[in-house]
């Protein structure tokens, strides 16, 4: 079939538009087209190329999806050797000063000569790649290999959307671009989460993910990996008048449509190199991708040529690394820790290893599911990561180094058994629960467990619970650390002398606190239930439980089926309540509270025949003469409910001054809107 001029023009137009939008989305991070419209352009080009195969070109965006599986990677000899650069072993300021001194010496500069200008960049932790463009079209991509010969990975590189298949503007006849393929941390986490949901193996770390993706023999697998790219230099160039400096080279590459990292600049002399090294180190953990250092390059290309190479490394460049964020060590034991909210976290006890600038002996394993997924066992060699102030974590296991027990029949089994979560809390002995749909296991001894003691007391005393004014975090720290309070019941046994003797307390403050504690002895049943800190039981659920059962004994005696008869109490909430009251330690604390006269009093009967009984309200803005809490109390006293957000189930929105998006959503959904006067009229008996 003859291809018409109109079809050719249409295909050329579609290719140009798609690449323009690709560049805006993947390189500039500034999308210019909704996904649906982009997909329509892509499908139109696919259809046209299918109808007229002659229109299919090597730089067509449709060729990014991956072709047939490869039998192997063909060797590629680099026209200009792709050499690595020297690494400074001194990760402190001395590394920058030593490099500057070597350069000045090699150039025979006198001491009084002006400082040398350097281009400064990041050292990406990925896979080095050479991209060969001929007349602006990507024709080949190769790995570094041994520096002289690499592997042809063109088909896989075509799947990386940040790499343009055709350069923009006036491209040279031949331009070999050097850069790094990497995987950003957010993309890495998203990909691994997808793999886990699909029951497939996850990647160990972003660097291995990038390198492994490019060396996949099936390009379709590479296309599934979320890879990125930054250009940082050039190799062979023909038909191009080179700029005078390396910085100008990078600017020119960006002008051709190639992604170049924004974290680059110029430094004059060793002092400014140190400043750049320190600044990027402070920024390192906030970057969306991994780096293992920075790179300094003499900026003037003429000086680079004069300096030349030594031992197959350029004299004019150096990598000034940071302390490694990952290291290998062995697991000596696996324990569990109990957090302030009762969360049970498995922790690997490690042979000491220096990583991320500190010696690490413990690393989190997050939760039971993660331990099983990674199959971490005692004796394993593991990869430990520590980045900045982030808690060190075990990111992967080296199974080939696992200690194995070999059988006479040739079979082998691991020496250490798989990890099993303990059934009781190692701190207080209470039962551990882990709902089927949750990843975190928790200690059920919330009122009793020493590990949760401070958090339990703060919640118990909070304004919406027992409302003990003056019992804040610092005072709770003193009471617990001094052994004066172990459970909420102990608060009611405090005396003036002990309180007044605490740091920054004084007799007046102590008297005020004791008065607030005494005043809290007769809360409503709803407040008391909420104060217990039962998982998944908030204020609203506590009120529903109080209304439905009338007293705490009935709540404690209820099974899951009876609990689910309460409005808005489902299986998860019911299970949390049952588990809480099934724990003997929690019942002991409740009995101790009763002995000192603390017990929730039944709520006043709800006027179930009121106009708002069972109706759902949302409060927004500032009301003229009452607070939102006061309005909420009035609504609930008449049997209504107050929700946090507007939905189709909302019956009324009470709007005051400066009401925001909730009011807009109410109007959009057609929800009735009231002002304070209309609310008060509705609340009248």
Residues designated catalytic = 123
CA angle 227, 376, 374 (to 5 degrees): 30
The encoded tokens of residue 164 equal: 């343009």
* Cα gap 50→680, rounded to integer Å: 69
What angle do helix axes 5-22 and 35-51 make, rounded to 10 degrees? 140
CA distance 387 to 398: 21
20: helix, coil or strand? Answer: helix
CB neighbour list of residue 610: distance below 8 Å, 6 or more residues apart:
638, 639, 683, 685
Q: How far out from the chain centre does Cα 97 lie?
A: 36
CB within 8 Å of 484: residues ≥ 6 apart:
478, 490, 494, 498
CA distances from 614 to 247, 544, 645 (A): 68, 11, 17
SS3 assignment, position 37: helix
Q: Is 238 exposed, middle or buried (0-12, 13-18, 19+ CB in 10 A)?
A: exposed
Helices (H), 52-111: 94-106
Nearest to 60 by CA among 50, 73, 70: 50
Contacts of 242 (CB under 8 A, 6+ apart): 249, 301
CA angle 363-366-367, nearest 5°? 135
Q: Are residues 283 and 291 in contact, defined by beta-carbon separation less than 8 angstroms?
A: no
Joined tokens for residue 159: 């799947």
Q: What is the dihedral of CA 3, 5, 8, 10, to 10 degrees?
A: -120
Tell me which residue of 349, 316, 369 sits closest to 118, measured CA to CA. Answer: 316
Residue 166 contacts residue 136 (beta carbons within 8 Å)? yes
336: β partners: 346
Rounded CA-CA distance 453/459 in Å is 10
Interacting residues of 528 by C-beta distance below 8 A, sequence separation 6+: 466, 552, 598, 599, 600
**Rounded Cα distance, 58 and 67, in Å:** 12
Per-residue 3-state assignment (H helix, E strand, C coil) for 384-446: EECCCCCCCEEEEECHHHCCEEECCCCCEEECCCCCCCCCECCCCCCEEECCCCCCCEEECCC
Return the H-helix or E-strand segment holding 326.
strand 326-338
């Amino acid at each position: 079939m003859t291809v018409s001029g109109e079809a050719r023009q249409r295909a050329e137009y579609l290719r140009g538009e798609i690449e323009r939008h690709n560049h805006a989305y993947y390189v500039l991070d500034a999308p210019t087209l909704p996904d649906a419209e982009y997909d329509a352009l892509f499908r139109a080009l696919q259809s046209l190329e299918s109808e007229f195969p002659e229109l299919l070109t090597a730089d067509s965006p449709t060729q990014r999806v991956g072709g047939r599986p490869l039998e192997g990677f063909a060797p590629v000899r680099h026209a200009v050797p792709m050499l690595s650069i020297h690494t400074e072993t001194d990760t402190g300021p001395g590394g920058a000063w030593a490099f500057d001194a070597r350069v000045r010496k090699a150039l025979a500069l006198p001491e009084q000569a002006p400082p040398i200008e350097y281009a400064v960049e990041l050292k990406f932790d990925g896979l080095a790649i050479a991209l060969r463009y001929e007349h602006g079209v990507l024709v080949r991509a190769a790995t570094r290999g041994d520096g002289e010969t690499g592997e042809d990975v063109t088909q896989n590189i075509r799947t990386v959307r940040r790499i343009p298949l055709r350069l923009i503007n006036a491209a040279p006849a031949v331009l070999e671009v050097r850069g790094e393929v990497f995987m950003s941390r957010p993309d890495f986490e998203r990909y691994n989460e997808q793999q886990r949901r699909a029951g497939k193996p996850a990647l160990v770390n972003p660097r291995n993910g990038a390198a492994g993706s490019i060396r996949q023999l099936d390009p379709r697998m590479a296309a599934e990996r979320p890879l990125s790219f930054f250009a940082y230099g050039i190799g062979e160039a023909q038909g191009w008048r080179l700029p005078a400096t390396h910085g100008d080279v990078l600017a020119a590459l960006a002008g051709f449509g190639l992604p170049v990292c924004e974290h680059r600049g110029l430094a004059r002399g060793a002092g400014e190199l140190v400043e750049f090294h320190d600044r990027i180190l402070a920024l390192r953990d906030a970057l969306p991708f991994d780096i293992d250092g920075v790179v300094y390059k003499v900026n003037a290309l003429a000086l680079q040529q004069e300096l030349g190479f030594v031992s197959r490394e350029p004299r004019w460049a150096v990598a000034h690394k940071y302390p490694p964020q990952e290291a290998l060590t062995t697991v000596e034991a696996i324990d569990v820790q109990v957090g302030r909210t009762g969360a049970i976290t498995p922790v690997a006890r490690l042979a000491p290893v220096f990583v991320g600038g500190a010696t690490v002996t413990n690393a989190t394993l997050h939760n039971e599911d993660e331990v099983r997924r990674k199959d971490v066992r005692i004796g394993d060699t593991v990869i430990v990561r520590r980045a900045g102030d982030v808690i060190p974590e075990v990111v992967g296991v080296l199974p080939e180094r696992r200690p194995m027990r070999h059988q006479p029949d040739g079979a082998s089994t691991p020496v250490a058994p798989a990890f099993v979560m303990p059934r009781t809390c190692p701190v207080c002995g209470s039962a551990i629960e882990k709902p089927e749909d949750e990843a975190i296991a928790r200690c059920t001894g919330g009122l009793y467990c020493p590990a949760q003691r401070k958090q339990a007391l703060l919640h118990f005393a909070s304004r919406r619970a027992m409302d003990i004014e003056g019992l804040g975090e610092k005072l709770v720290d003193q009471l617990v650390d001094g052994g004066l309070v172990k459970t909420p019941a102990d608060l009611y046994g405090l005396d003036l002398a002990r309180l007044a003797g605490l740091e920054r307390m004084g007799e007046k403050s102590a008297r005020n606190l004791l008065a607030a504690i005494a005043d809290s002895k007769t809360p409503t049943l709803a407040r008391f239930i909420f104060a217990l800190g039962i998982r998944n039981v908030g204020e609203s659920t506590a009120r529903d439980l109080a209304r439905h059962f009338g007293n705490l004994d009935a709540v404690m005696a209820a099974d899951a089926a009876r609990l689910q008869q309460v409005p808005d109490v489902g299986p998860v909430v019911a299970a949390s309540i049952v588990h809480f009251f099934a724990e003997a330690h929690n019942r002991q604390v409740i009995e101790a509270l009763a002995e000192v006269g603390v017990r929730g009093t039944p709520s006043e009967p709800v006027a179930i025949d009121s106009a708002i009984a069972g109706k759902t309200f949302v409060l927004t803005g500032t009301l003229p003469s009452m607070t939102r809490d006061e309005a909420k109390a009035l609504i609930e006293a008449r049997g209504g409910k107050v929700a946090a957000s507007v939905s189709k189930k909302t019956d009324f929105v009470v709007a005051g001054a400066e009401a925001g998006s909730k009011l807009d959503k109410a109007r959009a959904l057609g929800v009735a809107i009231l002002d304070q006067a209309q609310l008060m009229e509705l609340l009248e008996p």
